[in-house]
Amino acid sequence: MSYLYQKALKVDPLTHSPESFVQHFKVPEPFIPFFKEIVRGVETYEKDLDDQIEACAENWKLYRIDKLDLSILRLATFELLHCPKTDHQVIIDEAVELAKTYGSEASPSFINGILDPIAKKCRS
C-alpha cells in the first residue's frame, strides 16, 4: 500500500520503482515476489481497477477520493479481480484494517462500501 500511495502522491524519486522501493525500505526477501506481483498488477490494470472503483463509488469521482483510500482500493480491487486463490472476505478485511490504521475515521466504512459490491460482481 505504501508504494502505491507514494506513487499516487508523486513523491520521493528515490523509490519510484518497485525495485528501488524494496531496496530502500529493506522489504524482507520472502515478501518481494508478492509485493512485485501486486504493484505491477495494479500498474498494469490501473484503468480497469479505477473503472471498477468508480462504478461502485456512488456519487464519487476518482479525483475526489483520498489518495490513501484510493491506493487501498486499487490494491484490494486488483486482488479481488486477479488473485482468485485469496478469499474475497480476507481481501476486504485486510483493506478495512489498512484503512483503520492509516486512513481517516470514515475510511473503513467507505472502503468496505466500495469493495463489497466489487466482490459481489466478480466473485460468487
Amino acid 110: pLDDT:
97
Amino acid 104: pLDDT:
96
Give the alpha-carbon dihedral of 41, 39, 50, 13, to 10 degrees.
-140
Domain 2-122: give its CATH architecture.
Orthogonal Bundle (1.10)
The CA distance from 76 to 111, in Å, is 9
Amino acid 121: pLDDT:
93
Q: How far is CA 16 from CA 9, 12, 37, 72, 110, in A?
A: 11, 7, 16, 18, 28
Amino acid 124: pLDDT:
66
68 is written with which cell numbers?
490513501
Amino acid 57: pLDDT:
92
Q: What is the mean pLDDT of each run of 10 residues along the chain (124 residues)?
A: 88 79 91 94 96 93 94 98 95 98 97 97 82
Burial classification of residue 94, based on how many CB atoms lie within 10 Å of its CB (0-12 exposed, 13-18 middle, 19 or more buried)? middle
Question: What is the pTM assigned to this prediction?
Answer: 0.91
Q: Where are the domains of the chain?
A: 2-122
